[in-house]
Amino acid sequence: MNNSIYDSRQRLKFVFVFVAFLIAITSVVISNGLIKDLAEEERQKMEVWAEANRVVASQSEEANIDMNLILKIVGGNTTIPVLLCDENDNVQVSRNIAVPDKNADAFLSKKIKEFKSKKQVIPIDLNDGTFQYIYYDDSILLKRLFIFPYAQLSIVFIFILMAFLALSSTKKAEQNKVWVGLSKETAHQLGTPISSLVAWVEYLRTKEIDASLLNEMEKDVKRLETIAERFSKIGSNPVATPVNINHSIKSTLDYMQTRISSKVKLHTYLPDEVVLVSINDSLFAWVLENLIKNAVDAMSGQGEITLQAGVKNENVIIDITDTGKGIHKSKFKTIFNPGYTTKARGWGLGLSLVKRIIESYHDGKIFVKSSEVGKGTTFRIELRKYKG
């Protein structure tokens, strides 16, 4: 598995977000068009209603005026809130507005100001030098139509969010099962040949064989035992004990120093005082080993690795810096995904395992603090200081 899978997933995510955004914009545009058309229709209804009120108010005696029709138009408005006022903004008629019994004048005065602010005003010329004014508001239907697309988008957003969370949770649970199963099976498979090797070493000690060779063989067997022990702890609750972080780091670096290229220089800066951290020393050493191996690979076996530890407030901060090829900022989080690797050969499990050990088993944090392509990368580990 390589990074092309994750690149494809990232592209699919961007496509999904773009399509969702396009749907949202289209929905809002269409709704705004409908709102505009309905608002124009209500404006026309109010103009007809205003003309009908003008006829009634002026008591027109023009021929062919059907007063029954006029009165029907006046009484036909049952949806649009409207106020008919004189020149002094004294309310003559109100429709589709629930006016309270108490403080009615103050309520109506407030409504007039509200309607005026929306600039929904129609003047009525009574042809006698006086005017009346109609102030109206949007109908309930128009107001509902205005908020509908946003309510719809909110529901769709919540649904998509819940789907993402459910899929993410399911994916994580499946990954955990794979991790645990693979680790337990690896530890189990290593157990038998390790036991056999231990027996062979003891047998060879009874023969006339160079003791220094047997000692080296025993070191390698013990190393295999350590590896098997680490795998067996994945998926369980490893025991954490207070450990001097300086001692843990030095031990790991001493081990790695003899197993990496002599062209790689290790620099260490540790606190002068004893700093206790509650960790599982074996698993934490595994973390440092993985980070150092990755750093060596990033530098192609030549460069400098600097490990600096310190205390900040209640946390212990450990920075591992290399002079390798660096990481693009867009990959800062992706590199911790299971299966992500830029190597031609590799499973892409190292950093994922590191993240799991630090965050799941030590309640800490690990992330890329900084990186510059062609210059190097700094990983930061944050652990809680042991308080006793």
- The whole-angstrom separation of Cα 137 and Cα 113 is 11
Q: What is the reported pLDDT for 275?
A: 92
Q: Which is nearest to 30 in space by CA: 153, 137, 182? A: 153
Domain boundaries in the chain?
Answer: 3-138, 143-220, 240-384
Q: Is the pLDDT of residue 1 over 50?
A: no
362-368's contacts with Cβ under 8 Å and 24+ in sequence apart are: 362/240, 362/278, 362/279, 362/280, 362/283, 362/284, 366/287, 366/336, 367/332, 368/327, 368/332, 368/335
Nearest of 224, 245, 202, 236 to residue 364 by alpha carbon: 245
Across 285-314, average pLDDT: 92
d(C-alpha 169, C-alpha 173), whole Å = 6
- Which CATH code for domain 240-384? 3.30.565.10
Would the pTM of this model clear 0.85, i.e. be above it?
Answer: no
Mean pLDDT over all residues of the chain?
A: 83
Alpha-helix residue ranges (DSSP H) falling in 278-357: 281-298, 350-356
At 311 the pLDDT is 92
Q: Supply the pLDDT for residue 342.
A: 62
Torsion of CA 242, 246, 247, 252, to 10 degrees: 110
Confidence of residue 63 (pLDDT cuts 50, 70, 90): very low
Residue 372 has pLDDT above 60, yes or no: yes
Q: Specify the range with the lowest mean pLDDT, choosing from 179-183, 218-222, 343-347.
A: 343-347
Structural contact between residues 377 and 371, judged by C-beta atoms closer than 8 angstroms: yes
Enter the DSSP assignment of 181.
H
Range in 233-242, 254-263, 316-325, 345-354 with the lowest mean pLDDT: 345-354
- pLDDT of 61 > 60? The answer is no
Residue type (1 letter), 96? N
- pLDDT of 135 > 50? The answer is yes
Q: Got the DSSP string for 238-295?
A: ---EEEEHHHHHHHHHHHHHTTS-TTEEEEEE--SS--EEEE-HHHHHHHHHHHHHHH
Give the per-residue pLDDT at 67.
65
